[in-house]
Structure 1
C-alpha cells in the first residue's frame, strides 16, 4: 500500500538547510520489493552477525514506512550557521521521498550537485556497495565473477579493474557508463 501524506515543515535549526526535491530515486531492488510486499524484511528478521534472513514473528520492516534514500534537490532556505552551502545549490542527500526536507549540514552527508543531477543518484549506494565488499571479502584486482545487480556491479567492476573480472547480467546493450569501464566484460550466457 502506498499513500501520500501532507506533513508540515519543521522550523529550520541553525545548522540546517531546507531542500526542495527535484528527483527522488526509487531503487529497483529494496524499494520495489517493499512496494510489492515481496521483501523478506516483512516476514523475516535479518541477523547481521550471520548475514541471513531468519524465520521470526518479528519483522525487520513494518508499515507504515517512510522510505527513500536517493534525493536530489535545490536548497531553498539555509539556517544562520550554515556554511559551504547556499540557497540555489543543487545537492544530493540520502533521504526519504518527500517534497521538502530539512537536513543538518553538520550531522549529515550532503553532496554538491556538480554533475547533472540524475547522474548523482548512484552515489547513495555507497553503504550497499561497502556492505557487498566487506561481506564478500573482495580483493582489488583479483579474479571475480560478479552477480550483483545494476550500480553495485558497476562499482565492483570499477574496484576490480582486473582482466579476469566477468559480470553476469540480463542486459544486452550496456549503458554508456558501463561501456566506459576499461575491463568490463558482460557475460550473457555461454562460456566466458
Structure 2
C-alpha cells in the first residue's frame, strides 16, 4: 500500500514537473494564413465597392442634370471614398504576407492586424457620419429651395442613410469587440513567448 502511494506521489511530481506546452506555432501559422486570406478578400471587396461607388458618382456628376450643390456633394463624396480607400490600402500594405515568419513575428503581425482593424472601423465610422450629416445638410437645403416636392426624396435619403449608418455602427461594434478580445489573447501569447 505504501509503495502504491509512493508511486502515485512520484507520478504526480513527474507530471507537475513537466514543461508546459509552448505556443503551437503550426496552429498560429494556420490561423494567421486564414486571417490573411480573409483580409485579402475583404480588401478586394472593398476596392470593388469603392470603384462601383465612384463610377456611380461619376455618372451623376457627368450628367450635370442635378443641382450644383448636389453635384458638389457628389464630388466631395468621390474624394472621400478614394482617399479613405487609399488610406485603407496604405495601413494594410505590410499585413498581407505571413509566410515564413517565426512565432514572435507572427504574433506581431496578428497584433498589428487587430490594431489596424480597430483604427479602420473607428475612422470609417467618423467619415461615414460626417458624409451622412453633409448629405442631410445638402438635402435640407435643396428641399428648402425646391419646396415640398423635394421633401419625400429628402426623407427617403436621410432614412436610407441613417439605416446604413446604424448597420455600419453595429458591424463596427461587433468587429472591434472581436479585435479587442484578439489583442488580449495575442498579448498573453507574447508574454508567454517572452517568458519562454
In the superposition, the TM-score normalised over structure 2's length comes to 0.27
Structure with larger Rg: 2
Greater relative contact order (CA < 8 Å, ≥ 6 in sequence): 2
